[in-house]
Amino acid sequence: MTEQQHGAEEAAPRTGAEETDRASAPAVTEDTVEALVRSQLAKALGGKRGMVEAAMPTLAFTVSYIIGSDLRLSIGLGVAAALFLGGVRLLQRSSVQYVVTSLFGIGIAAVFAMRSGNAADAFLPGIIYNAVYAVVLSLSVLVRWPAIGLMIGPFIGSKEDFTSWRANPAVVALASRLTWLLVLPCVIRVLVQYPLWMADTYGWADTFGLLGLSKIAMGWPLQVAAFAAMVWVLARGRTPLEDGAAVRAEDGRE
């Protein structure tokens, strides 16, 4: 092609169909989806500081109860730790989102523990939450509406139809694998923590300390591992999202 022909081609006006294709083309590639997952991870965890803030109330509650066996005092110290961290955030004029979440969690735990008088029941809400979360996410995959697909759908689908990603089985399969990676930490927590809770509650063994340690160790660290695995899956190839664009083009959606 000559330079004149090339210049004429560049100068030629695009047709309406071409402009529509450009306007409704996917706004991201798999690389930017990977960046999206990293961004969501950062928002969910709040970085290293957010992880520390999430663990401190539970740590204060667990250690103080192991030392003093005073349920009210232990709950008070857990709440005080969350309030202190929140106060520091306010003084620094930074977001208290993660501290509020932690405070809410320790508050629910306190209600369960105070009602029964058994400190181990403070860990029961978390066990229930993880069990329910695992069931809901699993169902989303089984009905072919994987939760991760709903999260990334607006970024890889057309502007008019955020569910267009479901037209491509490869994208559905990718979203399903990512959703299973979110289910796995929840299942691990339940399988480890529920037997420990049962043993302590029914007097089979004194497992309160192990419950507390498992709560901390299987909290954000396990979630970070799951998100890291998601990023690894996303980084393996770009075919699923590119195929998704082709499918939508064939359907006349681009």
Q: Domain ranges for the chain, please list them.
A: 28-250
Closest to 61 (Cα-Cα) out of 14, 126, 1: 126
pLDDT for res 24: 43
pLDDT for res 36: 57
Higher pLDDT, 35 or 232: 232
Specify burial of residue 104 (Cβ count, 10 A radius: 0-12, 13-18, 19+). exposed
In the structure, what pLDDT confidence band is assigned to residue 173 with cuts at 50, 70 and 90? confident
Cβ atoms 34, 234 nearer than 8 A: yes
Closest to 156 (Cα-Cα) out of 165, 166, 147, 167: 165
Which of the listed ranges 16-20, 161-165, 234-238 does the model predict with the highest average pLDDT? 161-165
Round to whole Å and give the CA distance between 8 and 1: 11
pLDDT for res 31: 46
Provide mean pLDDT across the span 136-147: 93
Residue 25 is given by DSSP the state S
Tokens of 90: 């306010």
Cβ atoms 154, 36 nearer than 8 A: no
Residue 27 is given by DSSP the state S
Round to whole Å and give the CA distance between 151 and 205: 42
Round to whole Å and give the CA distance between 187 and 185: 5
- Whole-structure pTM value: 0.69
pLDDT at residue 97 is higher than 80: no
